[in-house]
Structure 1
C-alpha cells in the first residue's frame, strides 16, 4: 500500500521495521533458520517489491528465483507465522514491540531506531483494521512506552565558524579531489544544505553576482539508498525536498564567500552534462564514501590527536548543523532559520534548543539595556 508513493529511503526503512517484528510473530521457534538468513529473506525478498513481467509490483520472491537458504527460511516463516487475529492478544503485540528495542545481535537498539520503527508497525496495524482483519487497534491494549530520545544536538562537537573554515580550507588542499569538493562542503556550511541536496545542485540553481550576496534555489535531493529500492534501478533516488511537496523549492541566500567558491568551482571544473556541479572522481554521481573520505583526511589535517578521538566535526553533516547554529547565534529569527534550513519550527526547536536559548538570552539583555536607558531619561 505504501510502496508506490514512498521514497526509496522510506521503502527500505519500512522493510527494515517489518523484518524486525515479523520473526517474533510466530507460534514457536522450533527449526528456526539463522536470524541473519531470516532477516535477509524478509528484508530483501518479501518486503522489497519489483516489477513483474506483467508490469505489476510484486514481492521480489514472486519474480526472482531465490537461493535455497532463502526459500527454506521463507517456508519456515510461512508455516510458523501466527494468524493476523492473534494480534488482538496484547502479549503477541508486546513481543513485536520488544523486538524493536533490540538489535540483531541482541544488544539494545538506539532510541531513535525504535522511534523510526514504531510508526511502521503502528501503520500496519491500522491498515489491518482498515482492511477489517482486526476489529480494533491493538496498540491501545498494551501498556508499552518507547524509550525516550534525545534529538538535541550536542554543540560541544559542532565546529564553530573558525574551525569550519579551517576544515573547508583543508579540503581544498587535498589534491584535485579536495579542490573539486571544497565548494560542496561550502554549500553544507554556508547554505546549510543537506549532503543529498548539495550533491544534486546545478549551475542554474545559483544566482552569483559579481559582488554581495547571491542565492541558491533548492528543489531536489538525491540520497543514495541502493538500487533495490528505487523505481529506476539506480542507487540514487532523486526526490523533492525533505518533508515538502514534490515540486516545492527553497531559496537560500548565500554569503559572498560561497558565491566566490561556486564561481571559482565552475571556472575550474565546469559542470557535468546535466549541469551538476559536483561529480564522483569518474564523473558519475557523487558518493557519500568519496566525500566522506575527503572529510576524514581534512579532520586529520586540522584537528589535534585528542580532538580526532572525539565526535568533533565527525561527519560532513556536522557542517550543516554548524551553519544553522551560526545563523541562530547571529540573531537570525528562528522562523527564518527554519525556512532556510528546510526545517519545521518544531524540529528546529527540538534539535537546536540550546542555540535558540543563547539567542533569546542576548535578546533579553538587549531589551534590558533598552529599558535601563529609558529609565535614565
Structure 2
C-alpha cells in the first residue's frame, strides 16, 4: 500500500464512527445537517441536498443488506428535505426573435482571430439543434434532411460530460443511452425546415467526423462544454442589450431547450406531443413548464365567468 494511502486509511480508522454507533439517531442527525452545507459552509442547493441524502440512504441500505446494521437509521429520524424548484424560470426563456439573433451572433464569435471562419460559426448548429449532450453524439446517418420540407432526427444516445475519473473508458464524453430511457431506446424528432437548412449548411461547410458525428472540435474530438459555453456567453453580449445580458435571459445554452418547449406549448401543440419530442413524461412537462405557459389567461377567465353567470 502506498504511504499516502496508508496514512489516509489510518486517519479513517481513527476518525470514523463504528457501525454500532450508527444505530443511535444522535450520531446520524449531524450527518443529515452536514448535507445541507457546501464545502465553504454556505447553504447548498435543494437539489444537491436531495442527491446527497439519497446517496447516504443507499449506503445505509447496503449496510443493512450486508447485515452490518439491523435497519436503516434514517427511517427513524424526522427530517424533511428542502423543497427543490422544479419549474422553469420564465425569465430565462428567449422569444423566437431573440433566439434567431443569438444564432446569428454565434457566427461572429471568433471571426477576427480566425480570418472569416470562427469557432462560433462551427458550433452554431449545436445550439440550433438539441441539448449539447445529445447534439455531440448526433450522426449524419441519423439525420433525414431533405432539400425541402420538414426533416427528422433519430436520437439513440447521449454524451454528457463528466469527470474522467468516473467513466469506464477514461473519456470525459462516454457514450450512454438517452436520459430516463432504456439502453437501446431511440427517439424520433421531426424538425422544421429552418433547422434542416442549418444542419445541411453545417455539413456542407464543415463535413462530419469519421464516425459520422456532425459536431466535433477542430481536432476532430468531442466538443467540450467549456468550448460551447464560452462561445455562448460571447454571443449573448453581441446579441442582447446590456440589461438583458446582465439578466437571467438565455444565460445557459440549455435555456434554448426551455424556449423551444415553451413555444410549442404556447402555440397550442398538445402536451403529449410536446412531451414526446422533448423526451419528457407529460406530468413532468406540465409541472416543469407550468410558469412558462402563457396566452390562455383571458380564455380561462372567460370560461370561469360563463360558469358563474350560467
TM-score over 0.5 for the alignment?
A: yes
* Corresponding residue for residue 132 of structure 1: 67
Q: Distance in 2 between matches of 1:332 and 1:161?
A: 16
* Deviation (angstroms), 1:309: 1.6
* Corresponding residue for residue 114 of structure 2: none
Where do 1:159-170 residues align within 5 Å?
A: 159-170=94-105
* Corresponding residue for residue 185 of structure 1: 127
* Corresponding residue for residue 271 of structure 1: 208
- The gaps in structure 2 that reach 5 residues or longer are 112-116
* Deviation (angstroms), 1:252: 0.8
Q: Secondary structure at the match of 2:274?
A: helix
Q: Secondary structure at the match of 1:277?
A: coil
* Deviation (angstroms), 1:271: 0.4
Q: Distance in 2 between matches of 1:133 and 1:350?
A: 40
* Deviation (angstroms), 1:339: 1.2
Equivalent of residue 333 in structure 1, options 253, 261, 270: 270
RMSD between aligned residues: 2.2
2:87 aligned with 1:152? yes
* Deviation (angstroms), 1:80: 2.0
Q: Which of the pair has the greater relative contact order for Cα pairs under 8 Å at 6+ separation?
A: 2
TM-score w.r.t. the length of structure 2 is: 0.90
* Corresponding residue for residue 249 of structure 1: 186
* Deviation (angstroms), 1:367: 7.4
Residues 363/256 of structure 1: CA separation in 2 closer, same or farther (3 Å cut): farther
* Deviation (angstroms), 1:363: 6.6
- The gaps in structure 1 that reach 5 residues or longer are 1-61, 188-192
Contact kept? 2:271, 2:282, Cα under 8 Å: yes
Where do 1:364-375 residues align within 5 Å?
A: 364=300
Query: What is the total number of aligned residue pairs between the two structures?
Result: 301
Q: Distance in 2 between matches of 1:318 and 1:182?
A: 15
TM-score w.r.t. the length of structure 1 is: 0.75
2:165 aligned with 1:198? no
Q: Distance in 2 between matches of 1:302 and 1:179?
A: 15
* Deviation (angstroms), 1:133: 1.7
Contact kept? 2:88, 2:292, Cα under 8 Å: no
* Corresponding residue for residue 14 of structure 2: 79
* Deviation (angstroms), 1:269: 0.9
Q: Distance in 2 between matches of 1:270 and 1:362?
A: 49
